[in-house]
Structure 1
Amino acid sequence: MSPTPPSSVRRVACIGAGVIGGGWVAHFLARGYDVTAWDPAPDAEDKLRRLVTAAWPALEQLGLAEGASADRLTLAPSLAEAVADADAEFVQESAPEQLELKRDLLAQLDAAAPPGVVIASSTSGYPMTDMQTTAATPGRLVVGHPFNPPYLIPLVEVVGGERTDRAAVEWAAEFYGVAGKSVITMDRELPGFIANRLQEALWREALHMVANGEATVEDIDASITEGPGLRWAFMGPILTFALAGGEGGMAHMLDHFGPSLKSPWTRLEAPELDRALRDAMVDGCERAADGRTYAQLVAERDQGVIDVLRATGRLDGPAR
Structure 2
Amino acid sequence: MSRVAPTEVRTVTCVGAGVIGGGWVAYFLAKGYRVVAWDPAEDAEQRLRHLVDAAWPALTELGLAAGASVDHLTVVDTLAEACAQADFVQESAPEDLELKRTLLADISAATPPDVVISSSTSGYGMTEMATRAEHAERLVVGHPFNPPYLIPLVEVVGGEATSPEVVSWTADFFRHAGKSVIEMKREVPGFVANRLQEALWREALHMVENGEATVEEIDLSITDGPGLRWALQGPMLTFHLAGGQGGMAHMLDHFGPSLLSPWTRLEAPELTPELRDAVVEGCEREADGRSIDDLVAERDRGVIAVLRALGRA
Aligned partner of 2:41 in structure 1 is 41
Deviating 4+ runs (over 6 angstroms)? 308-313
Aligned partner of 2:135 in structure 1 is 137
Aligned partner of 2:28 in structure 1 is 28
**More divergent stretch after superposition (253-262 vs 98-107):** 253-262
Aligned partner of 1:215 in structure 2 is 213
Aligned partner of 2:233 in structure 1 is 235
Aligned partner of 1:100 in structure 2 is 98
The amino acid across from 1:15 in the alignment is V
Kept in 1, the 8 Å contact 2:232–2:303? The answer is no
CA distance in 1: counterparts of 2:141 and 2:39, whole angstroms = 19
Aligned partner of 1:316 in structure 2 is none
Give the number of the structure with larger relative contact order, counting CA–CA contacts within 8 Å between residues 6 or more apart.
1
Task: Kindly state the Cα deviation for residue 36 of structure 1 after the two structures are TM-superposed.
Answer: 0.3
Relative to structure 1, is the Cα distance of residues 146 and 311 closer, same or farther in structure 2, using a 3 angstrom cutoff?
A: farther
The amino acid across from 2:49 in the alignment is R
How far does the alpha carbon of each residue in 1:50-80 deviate from its partner, in whole angstroms, 9 at most, with x for none? Answer: 1001101110111111011111100011111
Report the 3-state secondary structure (helix = DSSP H, G, I; strand = E; otherwise coil) of the residue aligned with 1:107.
helix
Relative to structure 1, is the Cα distance of residues 139 and 223 closer, same or farther in structure 2, using a 3 angstrom cutoff?
A: same
Task: Kindly state the Cα deviation for residue 126 of structure 1 after the two structures are TM-superposed.
Answer: 0.3
Aligned partner of 1:82 in structure 2 is 82
Kept in 1, the 8 Å contact 2:113–2:135? The answer is no
Report the 3-state secondary structure (helix = DSSP H, G, I; strand = E; otherwise coil) of the residue aligned with 2:36.
strand
Report the 3-state secondary structure (helix = DSSP H, G, I; strand = E; otherwise coil) of the residue aligned with 2:133.
coil
Which TM-score applies when normalising by structure 2? Answer: 0.85
Gaps of 5+ in 2: 268-300, 307-313
Report the 3-state secondary structure (helix = DSSP H, G, I; strand = E; otherwise coil) of the residue aligned with 1:74.
strand
Equivalences for residues 1-320 of structure 1 within 5 A: 3-85=3-85, 88-268=86-266
Task: Kindly state the Cα deviation for residue 136 of structure 1 after the two structures are TM-superposed.
Answer: 1.2
Task: Kindly state the Cα deviation for residue 268 of structure 1 after the two structures are TM-superposed.
Answer: 3.2
Relative to structure 1, is the Cα distance of residues 154 and 172 closer, same or farther in structure 2, using a 3 angstrom cutoff?
A: same
The amino acid across from 2:149 in the alignment is Y
The amino acid across from 1:77 in the alignment is D
Report the 3-state secondary structure (helix = DSSP H, G, I; strand = E; otherwise coil) of the residue aligned with 2:203.
helix
Aligned residues: 273
State the percentage of identical aligned residues.
72
Relative to structure 1, is the Cα distance of residues 25 and 311 closer, same or farther in structure 2, using a 3 angstrom cutoff?
A: farther
Gaps of 5+ in 1: 270-307, 314-320
Which TM-score applies when normalising by structure 1? Answer: 0.83
Kept in 1, the 8 Å contact 2:156–2:183? The answer is yes
The amino acid across from 1:215 in the alignment is A
Report the 3-state secondary structure (helix = DSSP H, G, I; strand = E; otherwise coil) of the residue aligned with 1:235.
helix
